[in-house]
A and B are shown apart, each in its own frame.
With several copies, the nearest count.
Chain A
Amino acid sequence: MQKIEAIIRPSKLEDLKAALENIQIRGMTASEVKGRGLQNNQKQYYRGREVSVDLNPKIKVEIVCHDESVENIISTIINSCRTGKHGDGKIFVYPLERVIRISTREEGAAAL
């Protein structure tokens, strides 16, 4: 099993959820993060002081899945979250040792 972690634009979350449901993926965990990279800074102004904001709001979506689904999920993420501009985000894939469902104590594939 692997964990796919996608850092995406906040405005793409709804699209992503819909796209994933289309491929029967429902389970996920999302959280708010701020990111920097190649995307331009934002300019803000407070009483004439210009503040350059280099941490842009992003959403991190974590999906744990079977090895065979990884490819499909990745391309779904890319398809629904891509605008082609810097700031679209990244996908990171991590190895995972174990998965357990708390409510039933099931392990592994059954736990998803």
Chain B
Amino acid sequence: MKPKVKAVLLIINAMLLTLGLPLLACGAEGPGVDTGDTAFVIICSALVMLMTPGLALFYGGMVRRKNVLSIIMQSFTAMVLVSVQWVLIGYSLGFGADFNHLVGGLQYLGLNGVGGEPSLAYAPTIPHQVFVLFQMMFAIITVALISGAFAERMRYSIFVVFVLLWTTLVYDPLAHWVWGVDGWLRNLGALDFAGGTVVHISSGISGLIACLLLGPRKTDGAEPMVPHNLPMTMLGAALLWFGWFGFNAGSALGASGLAAHAFLVTNTSAAAGAIGWAAAEWLRQGKPTALGAASGVVAGLVAITPAAGFVTASSAIVMGLLAGPLCYFAVSSLKIRFNYDDSLDAFGIHGVGGIFGALATGVFATTAVNSAGVNGLLMGNPHLLWVQLLAVLATAGFASIMTVGILKMLTLVAPLRVSDEDEDIGLDLTQHGEDAYNYGEVSPA
């Protein structure tokens, strides 16, 4: 071997060691692994992964054409960065051995010791790696969701740093609070089947904070801010709906009756959410819109997320029917009233719908559905509702403070927004040097 080559190899080898990734036997299955459960959760992970591109289209169709690549790119960036961050440190912070009920320890750094053996604490019938994968997809979409709040104005380089800081400092600890063994919200008895607080409230609230800090999009002299491609948004909503089955049913962590139940109530609430939103539009505007139906689907999905393993199908209908109009009200009245520019309603749908869902879980939960759950208000246990409220407040409070901190810190380094002129020209050209569409013959040269 040439010395130069040898040197390169040594460096690479050193990188590997620094990354701390052990060379352990992943192929070997531990006892207790069930192939059906494993197949199910692996495929569910793929489904959840598809939600982020779905979100990219859902959001992408709603922005003006000059910003469509920038918003899609933000979702891709979340996928790309969090995928690596999760392997290196994120999983460990979320699910490593508990530290003060607040965050996971560093034992799983670089997925050290995570292999084919099930994690008995988290998912005893599937390889530990499958649990890691499944959770990774949740971390990805959460930070991608936030991008809807400050769409069409944030500098791409700021976004890159924001993603890394937010997922590490906000998402990972929150995941530990709610799902980690000995996390304080979990210990308290807060119910969050598939991530209502961790995913939706945290991203929705952070989005609200971020759009307040960045300020509204320039409106004078701007073309009207209407969605540039609604069929794209509809496709995105459909992919979100599809992937959400993986999100909620997969959270049963096995191919069980509970998974089927979660799937059923998820679908039911999505449908009821669309009915509720479209009905509200029909009453108020005289016409139900396609964007409204799609938004209602998402509202229904958000609302049922914490509840999917704990409530009945009829409760899911009620929750969806309430969540739709509630979010419609948030995006059409609340936003105008308080005059913040949550461009694509990350707060209006994920924040509001998530808070509603967390509280509704406290109302509708019943152990008849899931003996591992807790009864809610309607079953005569008002206590759960208070616990849920506490979880909501803790999540919202933590997410707000941290997001303010992160963004204020970033402001010291560089402006968060693109210049007015760049905003005018559009982020696709100015941040990425690309034009999304070149249909016509009079195309660039």
In addition to A44-B435, A48-B328, A53-B445, 7 A-B residue pairs with Cβ atoms within 8 Å of each other are A14-B223, A30-B442, A44-B429, A45-B292, A48-B292, A48-B332, A51-B444
Other-chain residue from B434, B440, B441, B445 in contact with A45 (beta carbon distance below 8 A): B434
Interface size on B, residues (CB 8 A): 33
Q: Does B34 have its Cβ within 8 Å of any Cβ on chain A?
A: no
| 8 shortest interchain CB distances as A-B pairs | A48-B332, A10-B441, A53-B444, A45-B433, A47-B331, A15-B221, A11-B424, A34-B442
Residues of A within 8 A of B331 (CB): 47-48
| CB of B430, distance to nearest CB on chain A (Å) | 10
Q: Does B13 have its Cβ within 8 Å of any Cβ on chain A?
A: no
Other-chain residue from B292, B424, B441, B445 in contact with A32 (beta carbon distance below 8 A): B441
Count, A-B residue pairs, CB within 8 A:
86
Closest B residue by C-beta to A48: B332
Interface residues as binary, B412-445 with A (CB distance below 8 Å gives 1, 0 otherwise): 0000000000001000010001110000111111
**Quick check: B445 and A52 within 8 Å, CB to CB?**
yes
Q: Does A105 have its Cβ within 8 Å of any Cβ on chain B?
A: no
Given A48-B332, A48-B333, the answer on whether A11 and B292 have CB atoms closer than 8 Å is: no
Residues of A within 8 A of B291 (CB): 46-47
Residues of B within 8 A of A12 (CB): 221
Docked complex Cα distance between A30 and B441 (Å): 10
Residues of A within 8 A of B435 (CB): 44, 53
**Quick check: B445 and A55 within 8 Å, CB to CB?**
yes
Query: Chain B interface mostly helix, strand, loop or mixed?
Result: loop
Given A10-B223, A13-B442, A43-B433, the answer on whether A48 and B285 have CB atoms closer than 8 Å is: yes
Tell me the A54-77 residues at the B interface (CB within 8 Å).
54-55, 57, 59
**Quick check: A47 and B221 within 8 Å, CB to CB?**
no
Docked complex Cα distance between A11 and B421 (Å): 10
Interface residues as binary, B320-345 with A (CB distance below 8 Å gives 1, 0 otherwise): 00000000100111001000000001
Residues of B within 8 A of A33 (CB): 442
Residues of A within 8 A of B372 (CB): none
Q: Does A22 have its Cβ within 8 Å of any Cβ on chain B?
A: no
| CB of A24, distance to nearest CB on chain B (Å) | 18
Docked complex Cα distance between A46 and B226 (Å): 7
**Quick check: B441 and A57 within 8 Å, CB to CB?**
yes
24 contacting pairs across A/B (C-beta < 8 A): A12-B221, A13-B223, A14-B220, A14-B222, A17-B445, A30-B442, A32-B441, A42-B429, A45-B281, A46-B291, A47-B292, A47-B328, A48-B281, A48-B285, A48-B331, A48-B332, A49-B332, A51-B226, A54-B444, A55-B442, A55-B444, A55-B445, A57-B441, A59-B442
